Structure 1
Amino acid sequence: MSDPVSALNNATYAAGIAEIKEIGPVGMITLRGDLSSKPVQKAAMAAAGVKMPEQRQCLTDGGKGIAWMSPDELLIMCPYSDALATLDDLNTALAKSHALAVNVSDARAVFEVSGPYAREVMAKVAPVDLAPSQFTAGMIRRTRIAQVPAAFWMPQDDVFRVVCFRSVAQYVFDVLSIAAQPGSEVGAF
C-alpha cells in the first residue's frame, strides 16, 4: 500500500491577512440514513467519539468529529489511517439498519484558513452571513466557495476548516489565497 498524498502536497500561503494551508489527508466517511434512528446515532457517535450534532453543527475533538451535512447525511471525520477500520466498524454496527457509509477520504481536500482576518477572507468567497453573531465556532455551512461546492466550519475562533472535492482543490486554494492578499482587509468584522 502506498502512502496517501494530499491534493496539493500541503500547500501553504502565509504572506497575506490570513494563513491558508492544505492540512493533508483526513479520514472522511459519509453516512446516509435516518439521523433520528438510535442505531445510526449510536454508530456515528462511537465512530467519532463525540455526541450527535444538531442541524448545521460540527462537533470535533482532536482528529475526530461529526458534521451535520443534511437531514439524512453526516460527515464522520477521523485520522486518515483509521478510515478503513472506522468504516468497517460503522458497517458492522449498521448491518441491520437502512444506512449507507462510504469512505470519501481520497475524494476530498481539506484547508485551514486562520488568523484574525480569517472571517473576512471567508466572507469574500462564500454567500454566508459570517457576522460573529450569526456564525460561531461549532457551526457548519454547506455552500459554495466562489464557483464550487464546499463546506466549512469553525473549530475555534479565527480558524475555519474548508472541505471541497479534490478535483477543485487548486481552484479553492487559489481563491482563498487571493482573498487573503496583503492589504485586502475590508474591516467588516
Structure 2
Amino acid sequence: MSNSVSALNGKVEAGEVTVRDAGLQGMITLRGDLTDKKLRRVCTDVTGVAFPEQRKAEVAGDNGLCWMSPDELLVFVPYADVAATLATIDAALAGTHYLAENVSDARAVLTVEGTFAREVMAKLTPVDLHPDVFVPGDFRRSKLGQVAAAFWMRDDETFHVVCFRSVAEYVFGLLANGARAGRVDHLI
C-alpha cells in the first residue's frame, strides 16, 4: 500500500514572506441547499465551526467550512477523517438532494505568511485585497496567475490558498517568485 503525500511534499520557500505546502488536508465538496437546517447542522457538527456567511471561511486548525457558491461548501476535516465524515454527512442528509465528494487528493493547500503576504497575493489575483475590503475570514474563488484558486485570510499576515493538485507547483512558483524581495513581476 502506498503512503499519501501532499502535492508538494512539504516544500517551503522562506523569506520576508514564506510560502509553504500546508500538507495533507481532508476536503469534501458539498453541494446542496445551504439554507437547509439539516445540512447546516451536520456541517457544524462534523467540523465544530460556525456555518459561514456568503464569501466567508470559518476555519479552526484542520476543520473548517468555506462558502464556495450559493449551493456549495468546501468542508475541511483532518485527512484521516474524510471517509467517516462522508458517512456522517450521508446518514444525516439521507432523502435530501445533495452531493458530497472527497476531493482531498485532487486539491493542494498552500500558506502565504508574512508582513507582505497581502502584497504578494495582490500581484497575482484580480480580487481587491485592500485591508478595508478584504479582511481575515474573507474567502474568494478567483484566479492566481492563469489558474483557478480559492483563498482566505486567517489573520492580517496569513493567506491559505486552495488549488488543483495538478497546478500546485505552478501556483507555488508564482507565490514564491512574488514573495522574493524586490520582485514586482510574476510568471504567468
TM-score range relative to shorter protein: over 0.9
Match of 1:111 in 2: 110
- 1:102, CA displacement in angstroms? 0.3
Q: Distance in 2 between the 1:3 and 1:47 partners?
A: 25
Give the match for residue 39 of structure 2: 40
Aligned twin of 2:176: 177
Q: Matched residues in 1 for 2:32 and 2:112: separation? A: 31
- 1:47–1:76 contact (8 Å) kept in structure 2: no
Could you give the per-residue CA deviations for residues 97-144 of structure 1, whole angstroms, max 9, x where no partner exists?
111100000000000000000000000001111010100000000000
> The residue matched to 2:3 in structure 1 has which SS?
coil
Question: What is the distance in 2 between the residues matched to 1:65 and 1:7?
Answer: 20
Stretch deviating more after TM superposition (31-40 or 177-186): 177-186
* CA–CA separation in structure 1 for the residues paired with 2:172 and 2:60: 25
Q: Which residue of 2 aligns with 1:13?
A: 13
Q: Where does structure 2 lack aligned partners over 5 or more consecutive residues? A: none
State the secondary structure of the residue aligned to 1:151.
strand
Amino acid at match of 1:146: G
Cα shift readout 1:37-85 (whole Å, capped 9, x = no counterpart): 1111111111211111000000012210100000000000011111111
Runs of 4 or more off by more than 2 Å in structure 1? 183-186
Structure 1 segment 20-99 matched on structure 2, within 5 A: 20-99=19-98
Contact 1:39 1:97 in 2 (8 A): no
Amino acid corresponding to residue 46 of structure 2 in structure 1 = A
Cα distance in 1 for residues equivalent to 2:112 and 2:184: 15
Q: TM-score, normalised by structure 1?
A: 0.95
Q: Structure 1, residues 134-177: CA drift from partner, whole Å, max 9, x if none?
A: 00000000000000000000112200000000000000000101
Query: What are structure 1's unaligned runs of at least 5 residues?
Result: none
Q: CA deviation at 1:184?
A: 3.1
Contact 2:177 2:183 in 1 (8 A): no
How many pairs align?
185
Q: Distance in 1 between matches of 2:95 and 2:45?
A: 17
RMSD over aligned Cα, in angstroms? 1.3
